[in-house]
Amino acid sequence: MKNFLYCLSVLFLLVGCSGSNQKPIEDSFSAFVQSNSKVVAFGSVNVKEILTKADYSKIPKFGGLIANQLTSFSGSINLDKPIYFAAEGPFDIEGMPAALFVFAESKNQDSVTKKMKSLGYEMIEDKENKFSFYQDKQMSISVKESLMIGVFKPSTKDFKSLLASTFKMSENETKEDRVRQMVQSKEDIVAGLNLESLYSTSNTDLEKLPKEKKELVKSMMKSSYILNTISFNAGEMVFKTQNFFSEELKKRIPLKQEAATNVLKNLGTGEPRLGLLFNLDFTKLNGLLKDLMLEEDVKAMTRDLTAEEIPINELFGQVLNGQLGAVVYEETMDEGGLTPQTNVYLGLGNQGKKGFDRLSIPGLSLIERDLFDSHVLFYSSKDLKPNEVPIKVTQGCENFGSKPISGFVHLNGIPVEDFDAEGAYKFIEKIDYIYFEYGVDGGMLKLQAIDQKTNILKQSVDQALAQLSEILINMVL
């Protein structure tokens, strides 16, 4: 792990403190990913944009250092283009890829060679393939015309051949497909996942499935991708995920498409601080567990939830209907102070009250409940039980419940000092709310700051500097 982090830092030092190729770098990178069936994850990081949003030039002492380094590297590397990365499978037990490739656009081949030499690295020239490269035991950095490539692959002894094949794949014709569409995403951080490659390069329990089951999984993963992006904006950070699934996979995702109206109207009243909602499709879930032969594994996980032996397909569908909701309030006590109060909604299947009696859910038996044929409501305060007025969520979280998985945390006004929050946790004071939602097609997570004018990265840097100053003062004292 230490070697990986060291080599990765060298790569990003050279390309991140990152012209023009006859072929745009995004097309060269797309061609490489399209040509390499072992690539599981790929994406980009817009280093210059991220540093600018963090207002790096105003960071005491470090701002000038960063600016000098950017100026130093700008003569050899195009800072206006993102850094592109691709990871080959399989991943080891620590999550390290078999190989990591980093692409950046150089101003020209000679400028990069000179810059490397100034850093103490001698470049080797491959006259046959017309590129220069430096290598050590685990990594190599190379440049050919305006394309710069870094490779981390500990098991490789012949980086020269690996680089030659990498450049060759990057020169292939770029296809108009999902990969190219994902590579061209313009957010600050982009990370795509190729599920087909992930499955083909992995060594998991799915390989123990019978041949026909493995063929089914293969058909589900075929041409399936997930695109994750992160954007740092004024007063907010937005994480989005888009699912581009095959029809075989999409039809098996155990999530309902309609809004969980029954859950929302029965969660209680008032203004909760926290909310969580699930609207699952147990018919699809049972089918998926059967297809993947996971019924016994899940049965072992759910034994503590039942007072008797219940078959999985009966528990998920006839006893429970897949709907679950929970909210947490702050309630003022007569003796003063605030205490958390909780409402939990649990949807019941066609066995109704009889089915509920077969459950043994830890903890919930300690609080009051109202039992109905369609659901059961647990609550710790009678004043917050459901009535004609539904719950009121904080502004910005109005879509709560419209997706099959959703939730929010309203942080503005929480007395953080009561929790002895230290270090990074004190950033909670800056946050208004966190909201997330997820469905078959994807989802999003939004972190909204109280200050909606200053970029969220700038606010994070300022908070970190304030914490550093506090630590130094305490050390001196």
pLDDT tens-place string over residues 245-263 = 999 999 999 999 888 888 9
What is the pLDDT, as a whole number, of residue 361? 75
In a domain, residue 433? The reply is no
Q: Which of 199-203, 367-371, 412-416, 453-457 has the lowest mean pLDDT?
A: 412-416
Domain that holds residue 265: 255-392
Q: Are residues 52 and 181 in the same domain?
A: yes
pLDDT of residue 292: 87
149 and 102 in contact (C-beta within 8 Å)?
yes
Residue 97 lies in a domain: yes
Q: Do the Cβ atoms of 346 and 359 come closer than 8 Å?
A: no
Amino acid 23: pLDDT: 83
Residue of 294 and 192 predicted with greater confidence: 192
In a domain, 402, yes or no: no
Each residue's pLDDT tens digit, 115-156: 777 777 788 888 888 888 888 888 888 888 889 899 999 878
Residue finishing a domain among 392, 427, 443: 392
pLDDT (average), residues 292-319: 85
Whether residue 177 is found in the same domain as residue 266: no
Q: Which one, of 153, 147, 146, 149, lies nearest residue 163 by Cα?
A: 149
State the virtual CA torsion across 68, 73, 77, 82 in degrees, nearest 10.
Answer: -50
Residue 35 in any domain: the answer is yes
pLDDT at 309: 82
User: Predicted confidence band at 420 (pLDDT cuts at 50, 70, 90)?
Assistant: low
Say which range, 19-33, 63-77, 134-148, has the weakest mean pLDDT. 63-77
- pLDDT at residue 75 greater than cutoff 70: no
Please check whether residue 58 lies inside any domain of the structure: yes
Q: How far apart are CA 358 and CA 308, in angstroms?
A: 7
In this structure, the answer to whether residues 19 and 132 fall within a common structural domain is yes
Confidence of residue 454 (pLDDT cuts 50, 70, 90): very high
pLDDT of 30 > 90? The answer is yes
**Residue 21 pLDDT more than 50?**
no
Q: If you average pLDDT over residues 157-164, what whole number do you get?
A: 90
On whether both 176 and 259 belong to a single domain, the answer is no
**Could you give the number of structural domains in the chain?**
2
Average pLDDT over residues 332-357: 82
pLDDT digits (tens, 9 = 90+) for 178-217: 999 999 999 999 999 999 999 888 877 677 778 888 899 9
Pick the last residue of a domain from 342, 362, 392.
392
What pLDDT is recorded for position 336?
A: 53
Q: Are residues 169 and 292 both part of a single domain?
A: no
Shared-domain flag, residues 7 and 98: yes
User: Is residue 422 in some structural domain?
Assistant: no
52, 178: one domain: yes
Q: Which residues pair with 142 in a beta bridge?
A: 133, 149
pLDDT tens digits along 36-55: 999 999 999 998 888 888 88
Q: Quick one: tokens of 102?
A: 């980093």
Q: Say whether pLDDT at 328 is over 70.
A: yes
269 and 187: one domain? Answer: no
Higher-confidence residue: 47 or 282?
A: 282
**Among 139-148, 279-288, 419-428, the least confident range:** 419-428
* Same domain, yes or no: 183 and 269: no
Based on the domain organization, do 277 and 177 belong to the same domain?
A: no
Contact 239, 424 (CB under 8 A): no
* Strand ranges inside 173-281, DSSP E: 189-194, 225-233, 236-244, 274-279
Q: Which residue has the higher pLDDT, 331 or 448?
A: 448
- Residue 86 has what pLDDT? 96
Q: Which residues pair with 419 in a beta bridge?
A: none
Domain boundary among 392, 417, 442: 392
Average pLDDT, the chain: 84
Environment class of 447 (CB within 10 Å of its CB; exposed 0-12, middle 13-18, buried 19+): buried
Residue 232 forms part of a structural domain? no
Q: What DSSP string describes 95-123?
A: S--SEEEEEEEBS-HHHHHHHHHHTT-PP
pLDDT of 15 > 50? The answer is no
pTM, to two decimals: 0.86
Is the domain of 182 the same as that of 263?
Answer: no
What whole-number distance in Å separates Cα of residue 269 and Cα of residue 54? Answer: 40
Per-residue confidence (pLDDT) for residue 243, from 0 to 100: 97
Q: Is residue 267 part of a domain?
A: yes
User: Quick one: 48 and 182 in the same domain?
Assistant: yes
Given a contact cutoff of 8 angstroms between Cβ atoms, the answer to whether 347 and 279 are in contact is: no
Rounded Cα–Cα distance for residues 41 and 153 (Å): 15
